C-alpha cells in the first residue's frame, strides 16, 4: 500500500470508548506504514461550576486521572503488541480544546479520533469532542467509527 499522505506525527485522543480504541488501531496501522511518531492522549475534563456544586470536584479529578492512566496503559499495551512505542500525554482541561492546543504546539500532522466517545449524552451524528476537533483543527483529522 502506498500512502499519498505520510504523516510524521500522529495524535490519538482516547477516552476509553470502543471508538477511541478503533481510532488507535487505525493510527497504529498508519504509523507503521509511514514511520510516524505516535502520541496517545487523554484529557481530564475540568468541570463547569454548575456541575461542581453537586459533586466533589477533587474526588472527581482523582478518579478521572486514575481512569486516564488506565486507558493510556491499555492503549500502550495495544501499541507495543504492534511494535509501536507511543508517547503518552495526560492533559487537564476541556478535551477538544486541549487536543487542538497540543496538536498546534507539537506540530502534529494528523489527528486520528473516534467518532463518538463515552459521554452520557450522544449527539445525532458525531460526539461533541470529535465534532469540535473536526471543525476547528488546523491539521487533517481522520474520524473513525
Q: How far apart are CA 131 and CA 96, in angstroms?
A: 9
* pLDDT, tens only, 63-101: 899 999 999 999 999 999 999 999 999 999 999 999 999
Residue 63 CB neighbour total at 10 angstroms: 12
* pLDDT, tens only, 12-60: 999 999 999 999 999 999 999 999 999 999 999 866 544 455 567 677 8
38: three-class secondary structure by DSSP? strand
User: 111 - beta bridge partners?
Assistant: 11, 141
Q: How far apart are CA 114 and CA 126, in angstroms?
A: 9
Q: How far apart are CA 78 and CA 55, in angstroms?
A: 34
Q: Which residue has the higher pLDDT, 68 or 125?
A: 68
Residue 115 CB neighbour total at 10 angstroms: 19
Nearest to 10 by CA among 38, 47, 44, 50: 38
Nearest to 111 by CA among 145, 139, 82: 139
What confidence category does residue 125 fall into, taking pLDDT thresholds of 50, 70 and 90?
Answer: very low
pTM of the model: 0.87
* pLDDT score, position 123: 43
9-144 is a CATH 3.40.50.620 domain:
yes
Amino acid at each position: 500500500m502506498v500512502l499519498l499522505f505520510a504523516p510524521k506525527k500522529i495524535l490519538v485522543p482516547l477516552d476509553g470508548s470502543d471508538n477511541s480504541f478503533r481510532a488507535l488501531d487505525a493510527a497504529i496501522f498508519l504509523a507503521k506504514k509511514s514511520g510516524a511518531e505516535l502520541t496517545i492522549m487523554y484529557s481530564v475534563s475540568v468541570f463547569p461550576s454548575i456541575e461542581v456544586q453537586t459533586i466533589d470536584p477533587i474526588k472527581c479529578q482523582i478518579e478521572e486521572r486514575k481512569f486516564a492512566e488506565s486507558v493510556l496503559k491499555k492503549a500502550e499495551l495495544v501499541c507495543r503488541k504492534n511494535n509501536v512505542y507511543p508517547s503518552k500525554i495526560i492533559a487537564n482541561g476541556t478535551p477538544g480544546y486541549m487536543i487542538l492546543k497540543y496538536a498546534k504546539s507539537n506540530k502534529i500532522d494528523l489527528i486520528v479520533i473516534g467518532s463518538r466517545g463515552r459521554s452520557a449524552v450522544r449527539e445525532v451524528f458525531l460526539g461533541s469532542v470529535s465534532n469540535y476537533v473536526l471543525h476547528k483543527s488546523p491539521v487533517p483529522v481522520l474520524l473513525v467509527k
